[in-house]
Amino acid sequence: MRAIKALGVRERQPLPWQVVRLSGPPSPSNPQTLDPLARPPAAATTMPVMPSDATPPARAPRLALIHTGGTIASRPSPDGRGLTPQTPPALPGLEEVQVTEAQPFSLPSPHMTPAHMGQLAALIRELAPTHDGVVVTHGTDTLEETAFALHLMLDVKVPVVLTGSMRHAEEISWDGPANLLDAAHVALHPHSPGRGPLVVIGGDIFDARTVTKIHTTAVDAFGGYPGPIGRIDREGHTPRLHYFAMPEPRATYHPAHLQARVEILYAYAGWTGEGYAEAAARADGLVIAALGTGNLPAELLPLIQGTAKPVVIATRTHAGPVLPVYGYAGGGATLVEAGAIPASFLNAHKARLLLLILLGQGLTREQIQTVFERDEF
Ligand SMILES: NC(=O)C[C@H](N)C(=O)O
């Protein structure tokens, strides 16, 4: 296994941000195009990784497999203290695929930081030009955050697919090998480029913008509104892949650093602002997981009015946008009037990553507001 060292984060680009428009379904020879009229394919596609009537490729497909830890690499630790990442999983049953493995670090995903995400993005940029697809194994707890950070920072042409497992290698229902094989098939499938980083778990294919972990123990632990954009199943040994949707065009960013301090506050009935002043003083920006369409108790309104740093309003509700509709003190309309930025439909932890990346790129509060307003993510 090849270990690749930390590569650092890319230099800041002259443009503040770049909107990459992707057309679908792209062809293998032209996997990503700048097509402003790009729309989802009219019908779902069904084909094995290598269609039976396809001309065999001149060379074996090349897959980069990056291990980062998580339950998919975990076993009970010999000291009896519980599960820890130990051995990266082997990729089963993909003959005639040339696999390059890398393990930049091996972490339980609660130990992942934005710096690790930057390191991973740099490694993928290095490997992408010489591979046809990239698979990243990852713990499931923060998998959606890493997927979204890659979605925001990567503009590589080949598919990048993240997967993990909910059960470890010594459990009877270990889901690691099947998820890994599915992820590899998706990464090498000719219809996968141009959809941004994807998450494959339990046969469902999600886009990084909307996927979220919805269950602490179930094998089908991932969901999110409006749901999967595709599905992979197997007929015997033949993979059958269906895409239902093409994600909307996304923006990519090239932050100079990932060290901005962005904190999340979680709203509840009866919150009078405990913790707000301290967080606002030490952080570069705040995200609040607010109530419903983005409302807060009245006591929060003057606190937000008095904050010059960006304050993004997400929702603790599991689906739907943040909208400035209510005009009572603390209602969404009054928070926006006070300068708060609605997070659109991003959950609080994804809104935090976007804010952190935009701050790292040196965007002003007004520019940040524009990015959120226009859904440029
Ligand atoms: N299923 C998992 O991977 C959970 C684990 N705690 C992790 O995120 O590393």
Confidence of residue 290 (pLDDT cuts 50, 70, 90): very high
In a domain? residue 8: no
Looking at the structure, tell me whether residues 201 and 299 fall in a common domain: no
Per-residue pLDDT tens digits for 179-224 = 999 999 999 999 999 999 999 999 999 999 999 999 999 999 999 9
Looking at the structure, tell me whether residues 231 and 126 fall in a common domain: yes
Looking at the structure, tell me whether residues 245 and 289 fall in a common domain: no
Which residue minimizes the CA distance to atom 3 of ligand 1? Answer: 139
67, 71, 106: residue to mutate for ligand 1 pocket, most atoms within 8 A of CB: 71
At 264 the pLDDT is 98
Q: Give the range among 26-30, 122-126, 181-185 with minimum mean pLDDT.
A: 26-30
Q: Show which residues are catalytic.
A: 71, 140
> Highest mean pLDDT range out of 50-64, 75-89, 306-320?
306-320
CATH of the domain at 326: 3.40.50.40
Looking at the structure, tell me whether residues 162 and 271 fall in a common domain: no
Last residue of a domain, one of 251, 280, 313: 251
In a domain? residue 92: yes
Evaluate: CB of 144 within 6 angstroms of ligand 1.
no
Evaluate: CB of 164 within 6 angstroms of ligand 1.
yes
Show the tokens assigned to 264. 């999340």
- Give the total number of structural domains in the chain: 2
Looking at the structure, tell me whether residues 237 and 272 fall in a common domain: no
At 8 the pLDDT is 32
Evaluate: CB of 85 within 6 angstroms of ligand 1.
no
Evaluate: CB of 120 within 6 angstroms of ligand 1.
no
67, 68, 72, 74: residue to mutate for ligand 1 pocket, most atoms within 8 A of CB: 74
For residue 75, report the distance from its CA to the centre of ligand 1, in Å: 11
Instruction: Decide which of 126 and 25 is more confident.
Output: 126
Looking at the structure, tell me whether residues 209 and 264 fall in a common domain: no
**Residue 92 belongs to domain spanning:** 18-251
Per-residue pLDDT tens digits for 135-151 = 999 999 999 999 999 99
Looking at the structure, tell me whether residues 326 and 191 fall in a common domain: no
Index of the ligand 1 atom closest to the CA of residue 142: 8
DSSP helix/strand/coil, 373: helix
Q: Are the CB atoms for 251 and 152 separated by under 8 Å?
A: yes
Looking at the structure, tell me whether residues 197 and 303 fall in a common domain: no
Say what percent of the chain tops pLDDT 90.
Answer: 81
At 237 the pLDDT is 86
Cα gap 4→315, rounded to integer Å: 38
Index of the ligand 1 atom closest to the CA of residue 166: 1
Confidence of residue 55 (pLDDT cuts 50, 70, 90): low
Index of the ligand 1 atom closest to the CA of residue 107: 9
Confidence of residue 94 (pLDDT cuts 50, 70, 90): confident
Looking at the structure, tell me whether residues 109 and 144 fall in a common domain: yes
Helix (H) or strand (E) holding 281, with range, is helix 276-282
Last residue of a domain, one of 211, 230, 251: 251
For residue 15, report the distance from its CA to the centre of ligand 1, in Å: 37
pTM more than 0.80 = yes
Looking at the structure, tell me whether residues 235 and 305 fall in a common domain: no
Looking at the structure, tell me whether residues 293 and 341 fall in a common domain: yes
Averaged pLDDT score across all residues of the chain: 87
At 4 the pLDDT is 42
Cα–Cα distance list, 84 to 106, 137, 261 (Å):
10, 15, 28
Whether pLDDT at 12 is above 50: no
Contacts of residue 170, defined as CB under 8 A and 6 or more positions apart, other chains included, come to 75, 76
72, 77, 83, 140: residue to mutate for ligand 1 pocket, most atoms within 8 A of CB: 140
Looking at the structure, tell me whether residues 95 and 163 fall in a common domain: yes
CATH of the domain at 132: 3.40.50.1170
